[in-house]
Amino acid sequence: MIDERSDNPNVELPETTPELIDTTHEQPNTDDTSIDVLPEAQEEASLESEKGDSTIIDEAIIADAPGRTSMCVEGRSGSESCSGSTVHLRWGARTDVGLVRDHNEDSSLLQAPLFCVSDGMGGHAAGEVASRITVETLAQETPATPNDVQLGECIEKANLAIINAAENGEGKPGMGCTATAVCINENMMSVGHVGDSRCYVLHAGKLVRVTHDHSFVEELVDAGEITADEARIHPSRSVITRALGSDPDMYADHFLIDVNEGDRIIVCSDGLNSMVPDAVIESLAVSSVTPQQAADSLVAEALTQGGHDNVTVIVIDVSSDTREDNHLKMQRDFFKKTVKALAIFLAVLFLSLIVLVRTSWYIGTYNQKVALYRGLNSNFLGLPLSNLTETTDIPIAELPQGTQTKLIHGIAVNSEETAHITIESYRDQIKTMQEKAQHTAKDTGLATNNSVGSDNTKGDNNE
């Protein structure tokens, strides 16, 4: 058997591969590993096959019909959800036991940027062990970079780990599982894949399946014998051709694809796509605002359609900020930036003010005498921006009127030294003015005396 989906189209599947065709992961409450299609499902599938494509279209229309009753998954017993985010990714996930099974054999891994869904098979205490070993192995072994070769190797390690576990008495012989894993880093996504779990990418409102099922019905689709929608309801839809847990030489598909901001990635077990047509998956993925809402809506739809299988859905948004409350985030970011800028501005202003106050001087008055102040001759929020550092014995009243007026309003100087020079100049100015006044007074007195003496001489002469 040639697998056209492998990385090397010339690689031939090992002889043991056909046995996987009889392996199933749709075992309702039994350890029997024979072909697993539920009798009810078989009957339903046969009926729907006879109806043809028109029935499938009707089903999609009904699924989208307004007012249609839908299962509620929130708080449901056997249903669990988990969500989270990083700078570039936002995700939501839900797993549900379904409406037929009594336990959940699916396991999932949410270890950003690595995500994985593994669908266990082999019955109770087996399928869930295999799927758990798979996600645990991937969690430990897979690097946090989108390297598809390494991702494929990690899935192959998980395959060997399951085989070894069964040989050592953990789980049960024949247990197995699928594995669909993605690792997303900005615009690159690596995909590792074995089995019929799936990875979809919702890009620009269009859903694209990027994995190829390793299943019997997928081969029929590839051969052009049935359509994809017919495969979903085919009686042998649960028969898979490659799985982890039985063949030590099993290999995993692996590849890299580009993803873009706004893309929505969906990784799911076949409990989703076996119950819900791709058209409805697309519709629900487009209409859901958050990844968690999308995961919940998809699981709810699978249950509404019958919930025949365990169903696990992981939804990952790339740069999901563009989808959810982007406006509110922008407002928060703007507010934070504004507050930060304002705080920085006030801090710089305050520090500048302190520096200015510490390095400024002015000459003013204190008790009608000349005085020296450090700081600015002003107030800030009612607080003075200066303090008195030195008083003098120079009365301002003895200075010229113009100088007095300037001193009352404060005379700014460049430094303390300049202030002292200016103050001493006032002192010298007063001294000069006093000496000048004394000289003037003396000259005036002499002139008076001379005048009186002259008058007396004249009188004497007259006598």
Residues that bind Mg ion (CB under 5 A): 25, 119, 269-271, 309
| 355 CB-near residues (< 8 Å, 6+ apart) | none
Closer of 119 and 301 to Mg ion (Cβ) = 119
Amino acid at 159: N
Instruction: Write down the least CB distance from residue 59 to Mg ion, Å.
Output: 20
Tokens of 27: 């075992």
- Closer to Mg ion at the Cβ: 180 or 392? 180
Q: Token pair of 269, please?
A: 């077990």
How far is the C-alpha of 101 from the C-alpha of 121, rounded, in Å?
A: 12
Residue (237 or 374) nearer to Mg ion, CB: 237
SS3 percent helix, strand, coil of the chain, rounded to 5, is 45, 25, 30
Amino acid residing at 85: S
Token pair 């078989």 in the structure block, residue:
42
Angle at 246 between CA 243 and CA 248, to 5 degrees: 100
Q: Which is nearer to Mg ion, 30 or 368 (CB)?
A: 30
Cα 389 off chain centre by? 57
Taking the least distance from each CB to Mg ion, the nearer of 271 and 375 is: 271
Establish how many alpha carbons lie within 13 A of residue 294's alpha carbon, considering only the half-sphere containing its beta carbon.
30
If DSSP codes are grouped into helix, strand and coil, which group holds residue 314?
Answer: strand
Nearer to Mg ion, 142 or 180 (CB): 180
**Shortest Cβ distance from residue 24 to Mg ion (Å)?**
9
The tokens 């645990």 sit on which residue? 136
Least Å distance, CB 126 to Mg ion, is 14
Dihedral angle of Cα 168, 170, 172, 177, to the nearest 10 degrees? -110
Nearer to Mg ion by Cβ, of 128 and 148: the residue is 128
Smallest distance, Mg ion to C-beta of residue 270, A: 4
How far is residue 327's CA from residue 344's CA, in Å, rounded to a whole number? Answer: 25
Q: What distance in Å separates the CA atoms of residue 254 and residue 251, rounded to the nearest whole number?
A: 9
Q: What string of DSSP letters covers 232-301?
A: HT-TTTT-BS--BSS-TT---EEEEEE--TT-EEEEE-HHHHTTS-HHHHHHHHHH-SSHHHHHHHHHHH
Beta partners for residue 361, in sequence order: 374, 413
Give 192 or 271: the residue with its C-beta nearer to Mg ion.
Answer: 271
Nearest distance from residue 311's CB to Mg ion, in Å?
Answer: 8
CB closer to Mg ion, 270 vs 296: 270
